Structure 1
């Protein structure tokens, strides 16, 4: 592989927007929403609304940090620069692992979707075919990758808008399914109210909700390949509330208006099931195709994110130097091969289990937990930035709203999510097993810092910088008063 100096800035605004959508709209919405609805009922609207608002604030914190220093190529860079080399090491490898696990969950779900058309097809064949396709897509130039991902994301956006419009039409025309169920707005509260299972139902639905929103921060890994990050990043982040209202809240609301929540199966895609239930099998087949392409798109974003993260880790001497080299297409091919290899091997194992939904839930919980860690580190980096660099915050053109309060509100919300995960036996297992990953990372970092002269220089440089920044912050406050 040729060691090209830099990643190609080949991603335009439409690519950035659609890759961000592709990363956070996948099986968490199309498949996981069925389980969330079965636990929370119409309360899923509340869960999606609160979670979306919290993560919007996290993305605003990330955006302000990335624009503070345009030399930051990803969220790992500002974590390392502000919190230290150890934080960069833990965040980088954890983010890489989170996307590997999330992509595995997407592939596992795809094999379940394929059973809609090919009930006798072995799951491992579906997994192998999809992963080979993703490998080929990611080995293209970043501009070609962005173009392909743009159109794959367009498919799911058009499908969701079409589904909402069709659902509204069925409600306004009083459509009655073959089973005698009438599509109407009152279905939202006619089966136990808007929160039929109370607060406990909301807490139980948080795991799949967190996984559904995971991937929103993928735009933070694209700065090195964005043509104009100062304009493109704020625009992409500001569009997040609209996406949440339309893609998450809009779809599940319409879904429960057509099909009462008590009739939505937790172990199947509710979108495909809705059309099957009302007797529109051809439409169900089309929606299943959209769901497959959506999950493929989300997995594609995952391989993109992991390969760029591994490249960045190699650039910071946190990963083997071979992963810091670029191909003739100016892409980190080494990281792409590693990611697809791991995703394929794990997917082949998981798709041999009897319960695809069980495998999806286990893998999804692990991914959700690691994403919570990543989002927490973004907030901690932001709080440290505000304290040590008050002047930079004051001069920022993209300040986080209510920045004195919202980081702590978000951290409190993540604590509630962790508590909720402890209440369920399946999610509790993943919660207790996850420390093994961080212990392993700690051992790796300890070995690295005791052997690497480069790492020792990074630590010394960071300590000197913190001292200088603290002194500058004190001087700034003194002038302000």
Structure 2
């Protein structure tokens, strides 16, 4: 086995290409597909595949922009550090702290989901105890070594992929034998008959875009593994170019098969179409099997979140002032090559989730704030794309590097598209509160970061 390469900061390049590829796929295919596919199908019908394809195209260009910067400088642990490098400390602090807080909320939501799915089999198990046990186990994995994290994520992702392939094959079998269902027969005509781009009107169609956007949100996580990947230049190219295509195939293939087996008007927005398809094929234990899949899916997202939060906090500490307590305390790598202190401080905040399980009111408030933090991700994506434009104008630009295709056209278009997605949230009642809170955070905390940096420069 080849000797692992140690970075200058003490982290170790121990993640192989198979780790990174599966982390990328598994990180984007989450419980939203297994449990939320019904809501996207019921919103737009068969045309939802165009929404996924269109959204996937813009995420591909964002990944290519991030990949181009990482290819030029693969020693960064997070894509947010490029925002600091090319847009300045104020933008970097806003993006870094906002993104880190967003990760913590996402982790708390996933931890709550893990506990809830576990209670499906053990309804009397205390939710807080289940959450603490799962969190402790995954924290230990992350503190041990990046390679162990990568191996765990590989198998978590494999479970999801096996479930998706099994559902697709089962659905195709039902279509081939023209199986009778409670709502008709499994047939390709269920998908193609009376096809319309906007069967429920233009508003329903366009409101599906933000819904699908959040299915793809998190795809950028794979870039966070580049700083600890073996042969990063090869990994960046393969991951960015292949992963999105695979994910699109999984999403579009899955949704298409579901709508062939069950007419889209008969797909419930409140239940998993995966269970429906498996039960039609005679698998009576489908609900229990799917619960296992979504449990591992949520655990996978939590595991990735702990990994990511630790690296982001380490990066924030690294970028703090030379004499700051934050840098002196947390900008440290443990002997086994992981930012242990960054991981531990992140986990301490995630422990808020078990406390919330004791109060329904606190849980409801948490869900509202968590929605707003995911909206802030859009603003961070926009800043990263603007940073990429600054990179293109800098001396760091590699003309023979991993170039973003059609840069002159697609860079501004991708920025405008993400901005449009953010503003569209104000026209969707369910997203209005989150978008308003995210805007208030951007103005308030963004203003604080700007004036704080101005004061630092004035006192320098």
In the superposition, the TM-score normalised over structure 1's length comes to: 0.84
Following TM superposition, by how much is the alpha carbon of 1:84 offset from its aligned partner in structure 2, in angstroms? 1.4
1:187 is aligned to 2:193: no
Tell me the secondary structure at the aligned position of residue 301 of structure 2: helix
> Pairwise mapping of residues 93-172 of structure 1 onto structure 2 (< 5 A)?
93-114=97-118, 116-118=120-122, 123-172=127-176
1:28 is aligned to 2:32: yes
- Is 1:25–1:298's contact at 8 Å kept on the other side of the alignment? no
> Relative to structure 1, is the Cα distance of residues 126 and 392 closer, same or farther in structure 2, using a 3 angstrom cutoff?
same
Distance 1:249 1:128 in 2: 36
> Relative to structure 1, is the Cα distance of residues 109 and 324 closer, same or farther in structure 2, using a 3 angstrom cutoff?
same
Residue 245 of structure 1: aligned partner: 248
Which ranges in structure 2 are unaligned for 5 or more consecutive residues?
1-7
Residue 67 of structure 1: aligned partner: 71
> Pairwise mapping of residues 314-333 of structure 1 onto structure 2 (< 5 A)?
314-317=317-320, 320-321=326-327, 322-333=329-340
- Is 2:25–2:247's contact at 8 Å kept on the other side of the alignment? no
Distance 1:164 1:443 in 2: 50
Residue 441 of structure 2: aligned partner: 437
Residue 343 of structure 2: aligned partner: 336
> Relative to structure 1, is the Cα distance of residues 273 and 445 closer, same or farther in structure 2, using a 3 angstrom cutoff?
farther
Residue 256 of structure 1: aligned partner: 259
Distance 2:47 2:281 in 1: 24
1:306 is aligned to 2:309: yes
Following TM superposition, by how much is the alpha carbon of 1:119 offset from its aligned partner in structure 2, in angstroms? 5.5
> Pairwise mapping of residues 337-376 of structure 1 onto structure 2 (< 5 A)?
337-346=344-353, 348-349=355-356, 353=360, 362=368, 365-376=371-382
Distance 2:247 2:451 in 1: 41
With 259-268 and 431-440 compared, the bigger mean Cα shift is at: 259-268
In the superposition, the TM-score normalised over structure 2's length comes to: 0.87
Following TM superposition, by how much is the alpha carbon of 1:337 offset from its aligned partner in structure 2, in angstroms? 2.2
Tell me the secondary structure at the aligned position of residue 426 of structure 1: helix
State which of 387, 393, 398 in structure 1 corresponds to 2:393: 387
- Is 1:28–1:209's contact at 8 Å kept on the other side of the alignment? no
> Relative to structure 1, is the Cα distance of residues 355 and 270 closer, same or farther in structure 2, using a 3 angstrom cutoff?
farther
- Is 1:191–1:262's contact at 8 Å kept on the other side of the alignment? no
Residue 3 of structure 2: aligned partner: none
- Is 1:211–1:364's contact at 8 Å kept on the other side of the alignment? no
- Is 1:49–1:244's contact at 8 Å kept on the other side of the alignment? no
Distance 1:364 1:187 in 2: 37
Paired residues, number = 448
> Pairwise mapping of residues 160-309 of structure 1 onto structure 2 (< 5 A)?
160-177=164-181, 179-190=182-193, 193=196, 195-276=198-279, 279-309=282-312
Following TM superposition, by how much is the alpha carbon of 1:297 offset from its aligned partner in structure 2, in angstroms? 0.7
Tell me the alpha carbon deviations over residues 225-261 of structure 1, each in whole angstroms, 9 at most, x when there is no partner.
1121111111100113322332211111112222233
